[in-house]
Structures are given as structure tokens and as C-alpha cells.
């Protein structure tokens, strides 16, 4: 594929962040925008040079000029929208969380593979230059005994929740909540490094409407435990630490940034950083579009199989045990 003709579903802040990166990436052109509101869609299209705006999803997916669809809508909508795009013959980039259930994730992967269409979850982590550095030095800490992760990001939308509104991100009817939003990054990185856990438990702090505004995920692996905290109702410092018998790894800015890797052993401390640009989305956009242009679906399938599926399944098991159920759950 010489040039990607992109279409977007969604018009939130993350879409603009991604499109800012698209404008800095060779071989990608925004062709069309879908939004439920015409004015919102037109504003996005005008700002980023899209020729067409749709308020009907079927018409958008029927646009023959769009070959790749980027989906960034409320969490509960991802499964149906990804499936619809694949059935329309589009390559798909879907924001995290990929979907709410493991069976949905497996179905979408199988559909993409059957039709030989590109499908990937838009999480920056595996595309960051510091990610392979972290994996390379992980054996140096020896047998892992403890993983500690924290992603705290006070949300302005939490203020709206306190004021009586229900923003999408705090709406359990749309699969909102802290676990599905930011603690998901902690689970994703842990699955990327260690695979599927033997057991997953979630201990949420819940608002009056039942949504989790913060909480702790505990993942059990042979020989060690990962304790992963996330909060949208508090202020703090994000981090990700791996502690082993022979040393430790500290990840600056935590699972969503991997801004710097610090290794401490008996021999001393070393610092690694291969990310001169602080914009994590730029690495993600350039890597994903590069895979699409080269026709490399297999790398995307491997990411879904090896990281996304264990993440979705662990989150599903833990949240349902904690009583966090979403529409469509069995």
C-alpha cells in the first residue's frame, strides 16, 4: 500500500492527538470522518483536511476511498464497530480497550485473519523504543518476585461526575471506569512482559453509579505477584517497578510512557532511554502505519494474540469477580 487513506470513527481528544501525529507521518492522508454530530465532524475534518464527513456509520464504511479505519469511541462500542469495519473490508486500528470480553477479542482476530485484514489495538507500549530495552534487561534482575505499577491521573471529568454529570468515561453502561481506561495500561504491559496470569483479582473504589474511579488489580504468576493500581480520582506519581532476586527495573512515568529505564543490580545502576521524542503517540502512529504500508498483518496478529488477548481476558475475569458488569456480559 503506497498511501493510507484513513477514516476516523470518533471525535474526542485522543483522535486529535493521533491526527496530530498523522500529519507528521509520511504516506497517510485523512480521507473521511464519522461523527454522530455534523458540526463536530466538520470541525475535525476542517482542522485535519478530510474531504468528507459522515453522520451515518453504514455510509462511512461504504466509502471506497477509505481503506484504514481508526476507532476511538466509548469502550462498549468497539466490538461492533471493529466487526462492521472488517466486514466492510477495511483495515482497522482500534483504541484500547480493544473490547470488553475475551470471546469478542478472539472472534475479531479470527475474522481479520480469515479476511487477511490488518487489525491492531492502539496501545503505544509495544511500539515504544524503550519497550524492547525493558525486555532485554529483564533477565538481569533474576527471578522476579514483585511487580508494582501505578497509573494515577486526576481527571477533570471526575469533577463533572462529582457535580452530577455522567461523562462517557465514568458511565458503566458504556464500559467506562478506571480499570478500562488507565489501569488497563498496567495490565497490558504486565501481560506483554509475563504473559497471561494464573489469577486476576480487582479491588475497586466505586462511585454511587457503580463505576470504578480507582482500584488495585492483583495478578498472580508462578513465583511472584503483580500489584497494579490506577486512579482517576486522586493525584500521584505514576511508576512501574520490577523487583527480582538480583536487581530491579524502574520505569519512569509508568506503563503508558516508558520514558526511561533504570536498572539497579549489585554492580551498580544503569539508565537507558531510546526515546528522544516525548510524544508516545508519534512512535505508535509511525510504527502502525509502517506495518500497514508494508502489508505486515502477521505482526499485528501476534500483538493481538500475545498481549491483547491475555489483557482483555484478565481484565474481564477480574472485573466480573468484583461485580463490575457491562451490557452484553454473559
In a domain, 147, yes or no: yes
Query: What is residue 64's DSSP assignment?
Result: T
**CATH number of the structural domain spanning residue 195:** 3.30.360.10
Q: Which residues contact 99 (CB under 8 A, 6 or more apart)?
A: 78, 79, 82, 105, 108, 312
- 199 DSSP 8-state letter: E
Structural contact between residues 315 and 180, judged by C-beta atoms closer than 8 angstroms: yes
Range of the domain at 69: 4-124+282-295
Task: Specify whether 142 is located in the same domain as 273.
Answer: yes
For residues 96 and 194, membership in a common domain is answered with no
Determine the Cα–Cα distance for residues 195 and 138; give it in Å rounded to an integer: 14
Same domain, yes or no: 119 and 132: no
Give the separation between CA 122 and CA 73, rounded to whole angstroms.
Answer: 12
Whether 117 is covered by a domain: the verdict is yes
pLDDT at residue 78 in the model: 98
Same domain? For 27 and 158 the reply is no
Pair 147, 82 in one domain: no
β-pairing, 260-265 vs 247-252, is antiparallel
Residues 160 and 86 in one domain: no
How far, in Å, CA of 251 to CA of 129, rounded?
Answer: 13
170 and 109 inside one domain? no
Rounded Cα gap, residues 227 and 266, in angstroms: 25
Q: Are 18 and 285 in contact (CB under 8 A)?
A: yes
148 in the same domain as 290: no
Classify residue 300: in a domain, yes or no. no
Cell output for 8: 476516523
Whether residue 260 lies inside any domain: the answer is yes
The tens place of each residue's pLDDT in the chain, 330 residues long, gives 689 999 999 999 999 999 999 999 999 999 999 999 999 999 999 999 999 999 999 999 999 999 999 999 999 999 999 999 999 999 999 999 999 999 999 999 999 999 999 999 999 999 999 999 999 999 999 999 999 999 999 999 999 999 999 999 999 999 999 999 999 999 999 999 999 999 999 999 999 999 999 999 999 999 999 999 999 999 999 999 999 999 999 999 999 999 999 999 999 999 999 999 999 999 999 999 999 999 999 999 999 999 999 999 999 999 999 999 999 999
Q: Give yes or no: residues 169 and 316 share one domain.
A: yes
Amino acid at each position: 500500500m503506497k498511501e493510507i487513506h484513513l477514516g476516523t470513527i470518533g471525535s474526542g481528544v485522543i483522535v486529535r492527538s493521533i491526527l496530530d501525529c498523522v500529519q507528521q507521518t509520511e504516506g497517510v492522508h485523512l480521507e473521511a470522518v464519522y461523527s454522530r454530530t455534523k458540526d463536530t465532524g466538520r470541525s475535525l475534518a476542517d482542522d485535519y483536511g478530510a474531504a468528507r464527513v459522515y453522520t451515518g456509520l453504514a455510509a462511512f464504511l461504504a466509502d471506497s476511498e477509505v481503506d484504514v479505519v481508526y476507532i476511538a469511541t466509548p469502550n462498549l462500542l468497539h466490538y461492533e464497530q471493529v466487526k462492521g469495519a472488517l466486514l466492510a473490508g477495511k483495515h482497522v486500528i482500534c483504541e484500547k480497550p480493544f473490547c470488553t470480553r475475551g470471546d469478542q477479542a478472539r472472534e475479531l482476530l479470527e475474522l481479520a485473519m480469515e479476511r487477511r485484514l490488518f487489525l491492531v489495538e492502539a496501545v503505544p507500549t509495544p511500539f515504544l523504543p524503550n519497550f524492547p530495552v525493558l525486555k532485554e534487561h529483564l533477565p538481569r534482575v533474576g527471578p522476579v518476585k514483585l511487580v508494582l505499577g501505578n497509573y494515577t491521573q486526576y481527571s477533570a471529568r471526575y469533577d463533572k461526575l462529582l457535580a452530577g454529570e455522567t461523562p462517557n468515561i465514568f458511565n458503566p453502561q458504556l464500559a467506562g471506569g478506571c480499570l478500562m481506561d488507565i489501569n488497563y495500561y498496567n495490565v497490558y504491559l504486565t501481560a506483554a512482559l509475563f504473559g497471561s496470569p494464573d489469577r486476576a483479582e480487582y479491588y475497586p473504589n466505586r462511585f454511587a453509579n457503580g463505576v470504578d474511579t480507582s482500584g488495585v488489580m492483583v495478578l498472580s504468576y508462578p513465583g511472584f505477584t503483580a500489584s497494579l493500581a490506577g486512579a482517576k480520582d486522586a493525584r500521584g506519581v505514576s511508576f512501574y517497578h520490577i523487583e527480582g532476586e538480583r536487581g530491579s527495573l524502574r520505569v519512569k512515568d509508568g506503563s503508558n510512557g516508558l520514558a526511561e529505564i533504570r536498572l539497579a543490580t549489585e554492580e551498580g545502576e544503569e539508565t537507558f532511554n531510546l526515546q528522544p521524542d516525548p510524544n508516545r503517540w508519534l512512535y505508535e502512529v509511525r510504527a502502525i502505519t509502517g506495518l500497514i504500508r508494508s502489508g505486515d498483518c502477521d505482526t499485528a496478529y501476534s500483538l493481538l494474540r500475545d498481549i491483547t488477548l491475555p489483557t482483555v481476558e484478565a481484565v474481564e475475569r477480574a472485573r466480573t469477580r468484583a461485580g463490575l458488569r457491562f451490557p452484553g456480559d454473559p
